[in-house]
Amino acid sequence: MWPEGYGKRVLETVDSSNAEAARIALGLAGPEWILALSQSAARGRRGRPWVMPAGNFAATLVMRPGEAPEVVALRSFVAALALFDAFEAVTGTAAGLALKWPNDVLMNGGKVAGILLESLGGPGGHLAIGIGVNLIAAPGAAQVEPGALAPVSVLGETGKRVTPEAMLEALAAAYAAREQSFVTYGFAPIRAAWLERAARLGEVITARTGREEVTGTFETVDEQGNLVLKTPEARRAIAAADVFF
C-alpha cells in the first residue's frame, strides 16, 4: 500500500531522478518519490556514472527534513534499512542480504543497490535521496573501479523478475516506516538495526578517504554514523570513505 503523505511521479525518461528532484523541490507540498524508467545522465557517489540498463530501478525521494545537516545525513542509514526491507518484501527472503557502509546494499556478496544523498539548497533546504537498484542486469566488471565489489542483479541472484513499479511500492512503504521510527526515536534504533545487518562487522576492512587509506577491524558505526576501525595504532572514526573488503 502506498504510504500516506508521500507523493509519486513516474517519468518515462529523464536526465537523472536527482536532477529532477532539484528542479521540482520548491514546488512540493510534502515528500515525493520520483521514479525514472530511463535515465540519460545518471550518477553515483563522487560524480561517478551510474549504468542503468532498461528494467533496472532508479528513483529519488525528495523531502525537506528541517534538522541539522549532520542529522539529515543519517538518512543514508534509514534508506539502507528501507532497501533491505524492500528486498525482503519483493524476494520473500532476507538470506544473502547485507548492508555495506556507507550506503550500499549487498546480495550474496555483490553490490545490488546504491544510495546517493544530495542537499538541495543548503542547510534547511531539501534533501534528495537517490537510489539505484540492479533489478534485471548488473554492470560488467570493467565498469567498476579496481577492487570494488562485483555488481549483481536481483534477477541474476534470485531468479525473480521485479518491475521498477513493484520495487517502488515496496521501498516507499518500507521507507515511510523507517522514517517514522527515525523522527520519533532518533538514530539509536536505526543504528542498532543497521549494525545487525552490517557486512563484515568484526572483520578487517580498508577505508580509502581522499587523503589516506586506513585498514583495521570494523568495530562499529558510532552515534554520528562514522565508521569505527580498530587499527594497531588507534581507534579511528571515519566520516567519509570508500570501503574495500
Domain of 173 in residue numbering reads as 7-196
> In this structure, are 191 and 208 located in the same domain?
no
Residues 215 and 154 in one domain: no
Same domain, 154 and 127: yes
Q: Omega of the bond prior to 146 within 30 degrees of 0, cis?
A: no
Q: Are residues 171 and 237 in the same domain?
A: no
In a shared domain, residues 237 and 130: no
> How far is 179 from 137, CA to CA, in rounded Å?
29
Q: Per the structure, how many domains does the chain have?
A: 2
Q: Which three cell numbers stand for residue 62?
A: 525528495
**pLDDT score of 41 more than 90:** no
Residue 64 maps to a domain: yes
* 2: in domain: no
Q: Give phi and psi for 110, each to the nearest 5.
A: -110, 160
Cα end-to-end distance, the chain, whole Å: 37
Residues 141 and 218 in one domain: no
In the DSSP assignment, the letter for residue 232 is S
Residue 49 CA, chain-centre distance (Å), reads 16
How does residue 122 score in pLDDT terms, banded at 50, 70 and 90? Answer: low
How open is the CA angle 56-9-51, to the nearest 5 degrees? 25
Residue 1 lies in a domain: no
Phi, psi of 48 (to 5 degrees): -70, 145
Q: Is the pLDDT of residue 51 over 60?
A: yes
Burial 187-199 (b: 16+ CB within 10 A, else e): beebbebbeebbb
Contact present, 117 and 127 (Cβ < 8 Å): yes
* Pair 42, 16 in one domain: yes
Q: What is the CATH number of the domain that holds 234?
A: 2.30.30
> Which among 208, 18, 30 is positioned nearest to 117, based on CA atoms?
18
Hunting for cell 525482503 — which residue is that?
88
> Looking at the structure, do residues 129 and 231 belong to the same domain, yes or no?
no
Q: How far apart are CA 98 and CA 106, in angstroms?
A: 5
Residues 31 and 149 in one domain: yes
Same-domain check for residues 229 and 192: no
Q: Is the pLDDT of residue 50 over 90?
A: no
Q: What are the tens digits of pLDDT across the range 152-210?
A: 999 999 999 999 999 999 999 999 999 999 999 999 999 999 999 999 999 999 999 98
Q: Which of 167, 180, 199, 224 is nearest to 31 (CA)?
A: 180
If you write DSSP's letter for every residue of 107-159 in order, what string do you get?
ETTEEEEEEEEEEESSTTSEEEEEEEE-SS----GGGS-TTSPPB--HHHHH-
Residues 236 and 158 in one domain: no
Residue 121 has pLDDT above 70, yes or no: yes
**Grid cell listed for 20:** 529532477
Q: 86 with 142, same domain? A: yes
**CA–CA dist 159, 170 (Å, integer):** 18
User: Which residue type, as a one-letter code, is found at position 173?
Assistant: A
Question: Poorest-confidence range of 18-22, 86-90, 145-149, 238-242?
Answer: 145-149
Query: What's the CATH number where 32 sits?
Result: 3.30.930.10
Residue predicted with more confidence, 121 or 156: 156
pLDDT at 139: 85
Give the pLDDT score at 53.
84
